[in-house]
Amino acid sequence: MTLTVAQIDRDTDQLVGEWLPISEAAKRLEISIGRVKQLLKDKKLVGVRRGGGEPQIPAVFIAGGDVLKGLPGTLTVLADAGYDEVESIRWLFTADDSLPGSPIDAIAAGRHTEVKRRAQALGF
């Protein structure tokens, strides 16, 4: 199985803050590493390589033992708009004055529908 996991740039890496290797994400989700890889492949999560090694996932994508509610749908919309993994992460973590805060902050606060609408507008 081949994962399409991009190498991340320094600026985006710093936007995210805390990262989880796939093995740690699997522990927090209480699923197998293979299942985490499937979530990446299915675009339910996104991961990137940070300086080599296994792909890593932003820690905020996992909350309460599950994938953050609203994140998979938002990632699908971003992918449909042509965003790759790194661009999706950058968009999610970049402050948006109209929210306020970043899209990932809004998703974590339960405002994922609002974020998804903004992501849909990117495709036009």
**Is 2 part of any domain?**
no
**Is 108 part of any domain?**
yes
pLDDT in tens, 37-87: 999 999 999 998 877 778 899 999 999 999 999 999 999 999 999 999 989
DSSP string across 74-121: HHHHHHHTT--HHHHHHHHHS--TTSSS-HHHHHHTT-HHHHHHHHHH
**Is 85 part of any domain?**
yes
| Exposed e or buried b per residue across 1-39, where buried means at least 16 C-beta atoms within 10 angstroms of its C-beta | eeeebbebeeebbebbeebbbbebbbebbeeeeeebbeb
What are the tokens at 28?
């927090």
Mean pLDDT of 23-37: 96
**Is 36 part of any domain?**
yes
The predicted model scores a pTM of 0.87
**Is 91 part of any domain?**
yes
Instruction: Give the range of the structural domain holding residue 97, as residue numbers without chain letter.
Output: 10-121
The domain tally of the chain equals 1
Residue 37 pLDDT: 94
What are the tokens at 6?
């991009």
Collect all residues with Cβ–Cβ distance below 8 Å to 2 and sequence separation of at least 6. Answer: none
